[in-house]
Amino acid sequence: MGLTALCPGTFDPVTNGHLDIIERASQTFEAVVVAVLENPSKQPMFSLEERVAMLEKACSGIPGVEVAAFSGLLVDFARERPQVVIVKGLRAVTDYEFEIQMAQMNHRLGAVETLFMPTNPSWSFLSSSLVKEVARFGGDVDGLVPEEVRAQLRERLGPTGGDR
């Protein structure tokens, strides 16, 4: 049996940068589990159910991908599955500083390995936070997120931005 890639995140909302990593992971590993963090301490724009549904739709054409929600420690979720490695995208050295800490902590807590995949340079500037900020001020996020997500941002914020 081959390895399963565990791609964790808040995905509030999923971006084309996330999808690039998920797609490349599906080409490299036998299976991919996209793990969506519930994280009650953060105030996401989209509910857990909305984030999972957006990912399921966006990943429907990528073979071998399952989307699952989790809360609590990622290592506890990882331990429920055999032959799992955490796969994270790295955009720049600024990502590395926090990612290496999380990777080392996850290894210490649960002996789970983390592998880093360099982000496609086309998406190295892209984050969910920036997408939300641009959308809040009425900017166009066309080409940065799946069309369905763009529509949901418009629905949530209106055509010129601003929380409803």
One of 128, 132, 150, 156 is an active-site residue; which one? 128
In whole angstroms, how close is the CB of 37 to ligand PNS at the nearest point? 4
Compare residues 101 and 160 and give the one whose CB is closer to ligand PNS.
Answer: 101
Binding mask 20-59 for ligand PNS (x = CB under 6 A): -----------------x----------------------
One of 41, 42, 60, 164 is an active-site residue; which one? 42
Tell whether residue 102 is a contact of ligand PNS (CB under 6 A).
yes
Tell whether residue 7 is a contact of ligand PNS (CB under 6 A).
no
Instruction: Yes or no: say if 21 and 7 are a contact pair by the CB < 8 Å rule.
Output: yes
Site residues for ligand PNS, window 109-138 (CB under 6 A)? none
Compare residues 14 and 153 and give the one whose CB is closer to ligand PNS.
Answer: 14
